[in-house]
Amino acid sequence: MGRVLPRSFYARPADVVAPELLGCIVESETPEGLVAVRLTEVEAYAGEDDPASHAWRGPTPRTEVMFGPPGRLYVYFTYGMHWCANLVCASDGVAAAVLLRGGEVVAGEGLARARRGARPPVRRLASGPANLASALGLDGSWHGSDVTAASGGLRVRRGRAADADEVIAGPRVGVTRAVDVAWRFSLHGDPTVSPPRPRAG
DNA sequence: TGCATGATGTTCT
DNA sequence: GAACATCATGCAC
């Protein structure tokens, strides 16, 4: 396994950090066991300059973690039933985060499957931001967690670096503002990338 | 294969 | 009161 990504990795703009996270491993360890996901799809969100970001209108109780130091987890609850997880980026005082949109379960498949209500095929276990959070067992109690501590319950490890021509950039999914910004990054043709998925070929 | 829709609660206007 | 960084299902083709 690769080494745990240091805080300095996250202390850069979200659109720089995001593509470098592709191929990295997110690991959650709880009393239930360990689940690891290799990231195949992420999205960058900036702060007050990005109208699609939750942090656009300045800090609120919900978003203040995004304005804090990098390397922590921003978890939010949406559509009345789903949790989504972000990694906080940029320097302390500057809002930025990378939304974890999808990945491939590489360890703890049984536990990940047990956490998902439905019975999806393996490729869909962590495909989509709410599904990924669910597979890792992430919810509001993880909000603000430090992901740079090797002893913490949540870690991100450097994986095999993605080749530049494997990475696809496109518009972000599910947003109605700043749709022209190509800050969604995914691994070309990977079956775990959530729709709309670029077709291979 | 693809679109329309219901579930369900927090946040902000 | 409306919007929301979603998902699974059901039905049409």
On strand B, nucleotides with any atom < 7 Å from a protein CB are: 7-13
Residues in chain A: 201
8 A C-beta contact, residue A183 and residue A15: yes
Per-position DSSP letters for A38-92, written without gaps between them: EEEEEEEE-STT-TTSTTTT---TTTHHHHS-SSBEEEEEETTTEEEEEEE-SST
* pLDDT of the residue at A144: 97
Nucleotide nearest to A97 (CA to C1'): C5
Nucleotide nearest to A55 (CA to C1'): C5
CB atoms within 10 A of CB A6: 11
Q: Are strands A97-107 and A25-30 parallel, antiparallel or unpaired?
A: unpaired
Give me the domains of chain A, ranges plus CATH numbers: 7-187 (3.10.300.10)
Q: What pLDDT digit, counting tens, does each position of A108-140 carry?
A: 999 999 999 878 999 999 999 999 999 999 999
Spatial distance from the CA of A55 to the C1' of B13 (Å)? 16
Spatial distance from the CA of A123 to the C1' of B6 (Å)? 25
pLDDT band for A194, please (50, 70, 90 cuts).
Answer: confident
Average confidence score pLDDT of chain A: 94
Nucleotide nearest to A81 (CA to C1'): B8
